Structure 1
Amino acid sequence: MTIAPSLCSPLALADAEPTRVTDSPATEPWDTDVITAYGLLREAAAELDHLMRHSLKRSGLQMAMFELLLRLARSPGEKQRLTSLARELTVTTGGITRLVDRAEHAGLVRREACPDDARGSFAVLTEEGKRRLREALPDHLLEIDSLWTSQIGEDADVVLGRLRAVRDNARRWPHGRPHLGVTHG
């Protein structure tokens, strides 16, 4: 499968006009390698998400709570603003508030006022939160490795770099690219 060259550079893609895959004899716009690549990405992510949720149930943590604790553990000072967490966890501001409320009630995080924004607050990982994360991680890491990282092998640095580039490029356009429209061929 060959994807149009402009897809190799996310920054070039963000500023480029839409391109068509030239090596595909597609007669309909949905019969392209671009749609196939996107569909496979979504299917793989959905399957992995389903399996990871199942795996995490054994640890007693729901996926959203696990992701919250993991994001905080990997953040400077083991804390992050709620608005930033909402974006990273792809939930609404109301959703992150409810999640942090549950985590706080369970003793996994605590809130800390934001010194430069009276309305903002940080979620801070507690020792109990770290303990629960440490308990959940060994099995979760084995699942991730057997289902995902073992499949990318020596290409891990390249794949992870490209995934970061795709994510960062998509974040540049939170509501889609405004100048793109339906093209008729």
Structure 2
Amino acid sequence: MPDETERIAAWAALLRTHAAVVPRLERALQATGLPLTWYDVLLVTNAAPERRLRMTELGQQAVVSRERVSRVVTELEAAGLLERQANPDDRRSSYAAITPAGRARLRTAAPVYLAAVEEHFLGHLDDEEIQVLARALPKVLAAEEG
């Protein structure tokens, strides 16, 4: 059983890892012309059924804050990578849908992103450590979002 020092060290390591890795991912993606926030929103939208999500769902699934997601969608719309679509079932909500240009940019950026994740994060872990993280972190996420 880890003592209190080890428990706090685990939390601190997670924070410091995030702070160290995210800027490296952002720098790697610069060459693709997609900021990390844009990549994230495009990735989540592309993976959704019909390649679109209600704005509220996008805010729940994207890594960017719920407050920022609307601004990121507006930026992606201006770039022609996403479009807002009216929700015929609920006039108070709308969808964010990835465009063909958005899918093309995402496909171009994906190998760069995946290589950076491998280099700056996964490449430092063995298979068992990756499996532990893949099991452990979703537990925290489900508890906090549920």
TM-score by length of 1: 0.71
Aligned residue for 2:143?
A: 169
Structure with higher Rg: it is 1
Q: Deviations over 1:49-68 (max 9, x none)?
A: 11001111111111111111
The percentage of counterpart residues that share the same residue type is: 27
Mind listing any 5+ residue stretches in structure 1 that lack a counterpart? 4-20, 25-31, 173-185
Contact 1:114–1:122, Cα closer than 8 Å, also in 2: yes
Aligned residue for 2:132?
A: 158
- Displacement of 1:45 in angstroms is 0.9
1:63 is aligned with what amino acid? L
- Displacement of 1:154 in angstroms is 1.8
Q: Within 2, Cα distance between the matches of 1:151 and 1:108? A: 33
Aligned residue for 2:18?
A: 45
Deviates more, 1:83-92 or 1:142-151: 83-92
Give matches, 1:26-175, under 5 Å: 32-88=5-61, 89-93=63-67, 95-155=68-128, 156-172=130-146
Query: SS in structure 2 opposite 1:64?
Result: helix
Contact 2:82–2:96, Cα closer than 8 Å, also in 1: yes
Q: Which has the higher helix share?
A: 2
Mind listing any 5+ residue stretches in structure 2 that lack a counterpart? none
Which structure would you say has the larger RCO, counting Cα contacts within 8 Å and 6 or more residues apart?
Answer: 2
- Displacement of 1:99 in angstroms is 1.2
Q: Deviations over 1:10-59 (max 9, x none)?
A: xxxxxxxxxxx3xx6xxxxxxx2111110000100111111001111111
Q: Deviations over 1:88-137 (max 9, x none)?
A: 334234x2222111111111011112233211111011110011111111
Contact 1:110–1:126, Cα closer than 8 Å, also in 2: yes
Q: Within 1, Cα distance between the matches of 2:47 and 2:125? A: 23
